[in-house]
Amino acid sequence: MDADAFRGRYGPWALIAGASEGTGAAFARQLAAKGLNLILVARRSGPLEQLALEIGAAHDVECVIASIDLAAEDATAQLVTAAGQREVGLLILNAGADTNGSTFLDNAIENWVALTQRNVVTLLRAVHHFGGAMRARGRGGMILVGSGACYLGLPGISVYGATKAYDLILGEALWAELKPQGVDVLNLIMGRTDTPAHRELMERLGVPFPDGTASSDDVAALGLEKLPHGPTINWDEPEDQPGMSGLSANARRERILAIAAMSASYAKHD
Q: Please confirm, yes or no, whether 151 is among the known catalytic residues.
A: no
* CA nearest to 264, candidates 177, 183, 181: 177
What's the half-sphere exposure (Cβ side, CA atoms, 13 Å) at 80? Answer: 15
Note if the bond before 12 is cis, omega within 30 degrees. yes
Q: Which of 10, 160, 166, 266 is flagged as catalytic?
A: 160
d(CA 64, CA 83): 9
d(CA 100, CA 115): 9
Note if the bond before 228 is cis, omega within 30 degrees. no
Ramachandran area for residue 86 (φ above 0: left; ψ -120 to 50: alpha; else beta): beta
Q: Which residues carry out catalysis?
A: 160
